[in-house]
Amino acid sequence: MNKAIFLDRDGIINHDPGDYTKHISEFTILPDLWPALKELQERGYLLILITNQGGIAKGLYGHEEVAEIHHYFLQEAEKNGVSITEIYYSPHHDDYGKSLSRKPGSLMIERGLAKFNIDPKKSYMIGDKQRDCDAGEKAGVQGVLIPTNDTLKKYLDLIA
């Protein structure tokens, strides 16, 4: 079986401005991200992005803007020698209807576990909010909570 690092997006991958990242112009990759992801990749982890995008349900931006941001992110990852296995996002928001895919629901993580034959016991969910860790733990994946907009590289020793 494979092992994976499931990563929240806003606040872990890119700077979280405190509300929504609505446009690619607001998407700023955090310092030291690429060396951190490269190290995790070299340790044998698949890298899977797991992100709530409730701004879609609120009408603040659309699937097109999310696709543009994710396309840019994948291009930058490739330029930096990092392979992103998959990106899952939930366009739902609790104010507009419940969804099992929205964190703290675990459906996005469960999809990744099944699709890529991942052992949850050897995997981690890294996020900056408790709901990220809760989503991982519901799927049997250990959560790692780090401060919003901090550099991921500082926390790699928490991952076996």
- Note the pLDDT tens digit of each residue in 117-149: 999 999 999 999 999 999 999 999 999 999 999
Percent helix, strand, coil in the chain, to 5, is: 40, 20, 40
Instruction: List, in order, residues 6 or more apart from 158 with CB less than 8 Å away.
Output: 144
Enzyme catalytic residues:
8, 10
pTM: 0.96
| CA proximity to 9, closest of 122, 93, 89, 79 | 89
Exposure of 135 by Cβ count < 10 A (0-12 exposed, 13-18 middle, 19+ buried)? buried
Residue ranges and CATH numbers for the domains of the chain are 3-55+75-139 (3.40.50.1000)
| Mean per-residue pLDDT over the chain, rounded | 96
Q: How many helices (H) and strands (E) does the chain have?
A: 4, 5
With cut-offs at 50, 70 and 90, classify the pLDDT of residue 95: confident
